């Protein structure tokens, strides 16, 4: 992957297909580090699956939604001296409180740090394909914050779907303006 | 500022349009967005389709959706176009430039861009 934002898209796609109702994408940035967290309240994974999921060669085709995505993300973090953390609670274990949290820590000044890239496109792509799942995106930077929450947008839209191109263009414009303000 | 008031204005405009959209006969543009597609450049392809459909006022005619891996990863980014009563068209090794041409020729004017189809890229 040429941009970390593509890894985020790939990881969050898993959350969308895991029967989640809410997927949160959290980016926390300091001058030296970037932490990327994708948290969902989906069906979760078994302990066995959690162990195997970071190994590209153990993934079987029946688990088709989880393939090379997590190993790529892990590699991108580790090659900067950072790490990947993965926690998951399967709905079979906890019917009330289940889901998956994947978090990568990246050292931004490392030579092998992959640039974040076009994260606005990633968020728009996720919202385009999210169906009924809600998405929260929050990017905290040393000098400001960019945020969107589809629950608020849906409340405004009534029964007009988020996937309508005109709506997506508004979301894109809104995020770009927030970034422009932070980088002002 | 792209404010919520502006979103409300878009909603009003859309509400009228949505009522007209109930008719069938929609074209579906499906973009493969699994790991293979994403790493090959599917995200800008998808976003180009979304933008072009909006900008050219084609949203009553075509919808853009995403799918997972369809098993021909070497041809990614892959885009399938479904039209009622017609055979599916599979476009391979797509990029934003090709996506714009598919919208212009196929979606708008009903002519398959055969040089981008899988049959001509094997």
Give residue ranges of B with CB < 8 Å to any A CB: 1-2, 4, 6-8, 10-11, 13-15, 18, 33-35, 38-39, 43-44, 46-47, 50-51, 53-54, 59, 63-66, 68-69
Q: Which of A155, A177, A171 is nearest to A122 (CA)?
A: A171
Condensed to tens digits (0 to 9), the pLDDT of residues A25-61 reads 999 999 999 999 999 999 999 988 888 887 776 655 5
Neighboring chain A residues of B65 at a CB cutoff of 8 Å: 129, 163
What are the residue boundaries of the structural domains of chain A, listed by start? 4-182
Query: Which domains does chain B possess?
Result: 24-120 (3.40.30.10)
Are A25 and A127 in contact, with CB atoms under 8 Å apart?
Answer: no
The architecture of the domain spanning A4-182 is: 2-Layer Sandwich (3.30)
Task: Please give the structure tokens belonging to residue B7.
Answer: 């979103």
Say yes or no: A17 contacts chain B, CB-CB below 8 A. yes
For chain B, the first-to-last Cα distance in angstroms comes to: 48
Mean residue pLDDT of chain A comes to 92
Q: H-type helices in B1-119, by residue range?
A: 4-20, 35-40, 42-55, 96-101
Q: Is A81 left (phi over 0), alpha (psi -120 to 50) or beta?
A: left
Lowest mean pLDDT among A81-85, A119-123, A168-172: A168-172
> Inter-chain contact B44–A121, Cβ cutoff 8 Å?
yes
Contacts of A106 (CB under 8 A, 6+ apart): A4, A33, A34, A35, A36, A76, A77, A80, A82, A113, A114
Are A116 and A5 in contact, with CB atoms under 8 Å apart?
Answer: yes
A vs B: CB pairs below 8 A: 93
> Inter-chain contact A170–B6, Cβ cutoff 8 Å?
yes
Query: Which chain A residue lies closest to B12 (C-alpha atoms)?
Result: A157
Name which of B4, B11, B33 is nearest A158 (Cβ-Cβ). Answer: B11
CA angle at B66 for the pair B57 and A100, rounded to the nearest 5°: 135
Name which of B8, B50, B69 is nearest A156 (Cβ-Cβ). Answer: B8
Name which of A9, A17, A164 is nearest B14 (Cβ-Cβ). Answer: A164
Condensed to tens digits (0 to 9), the pLDDT of residues A99-129 reads 999 999 999 999 999 999 999 999 999 999 9
Burial of A69 (0-12, 13-18, 19+ CB in 10 A): buried
Contacts of A156 (CB under 8 A, 6+ apart): B4, B7, B8, B11
Each residue's pLDDT expressed in tens, for chain B with a length of 122 residues: 567 888 988 888 887 776 655 554 589 999 999 999 999 999 999 999 999 998 898 888 899 999 988 889 999 999 999 999 899 999 999 999 999 999 999 999 999 999 999 998 87
The whole-number average pLDDT for the span A125-154 is 96
Pairwise CA distance, residues B96 & B25, whole Å: 25
Q: What is the DSSP letter of B34?
A: S
Whether residue A65 is predicted with pLDDT greater than 90 in this model: the reply is: no
């Amino acid at each position: 992957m040429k941009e970390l934002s593509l890894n985020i898209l790939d990881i969050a796609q898993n959350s969308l297909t895991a029967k989640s109702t809410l997927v949160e994408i959290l980016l926390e940035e300091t001058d030296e580090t970037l932490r990327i967290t994708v948290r969902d309240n989906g069906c979760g994974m078994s302990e066995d699956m959690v162990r195997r999921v970071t190994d590209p060669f153990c993934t079987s085709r029946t688990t088709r939604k989880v393939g090379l995505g997590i190993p790529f993300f892990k590699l991108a973090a580790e090659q900067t001296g950072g790490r990947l953390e993965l926690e998951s609670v399967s709905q079979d274990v906890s019917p009330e409180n289940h889901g998956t949290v994947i978090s990568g820590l990246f050292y931004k000044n490392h030579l092998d740090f992959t640039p974040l890239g076009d994260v606005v496109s990633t968020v728009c792509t996720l919202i385009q394909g999210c169906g009924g799942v809600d998405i929260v995106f929050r990017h905290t930077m040393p000098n400001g914050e960019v945020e969107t929450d589809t629950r608020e947008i849906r409340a405004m839209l009534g029964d007009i779907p988020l996937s309508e191109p005109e709506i997506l263009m508004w979301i894109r414009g809104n995020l770009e303006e927030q970034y422009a303000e932070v980088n002002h | 500022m792209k404010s919520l008031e502006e979103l409300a204005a878009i909603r009003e405009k859309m509400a009228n349009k949505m009522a007209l959209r109930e008719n069938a006969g929609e074209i579906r543009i499906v973009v493969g967005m699994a790991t293979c597609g994403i790493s090959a450049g599917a995200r800008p392809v998808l976003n180009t389709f979304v933008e072009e459909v909006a900008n050219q006022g084609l949203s009553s005619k075509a919808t853009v959706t995403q799918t997972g891996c369809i098993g021909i990863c070497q041809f990614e980014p892959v885009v399938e176009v479904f039209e009622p009563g017609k055979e599916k068209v599979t476009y391979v090794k797509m990029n934003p430039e090709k996506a714009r041409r598919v919208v212009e020729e196929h979606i708008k004017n009903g002519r398959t861009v055969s040089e981008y189809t899988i049959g001509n890229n094997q």
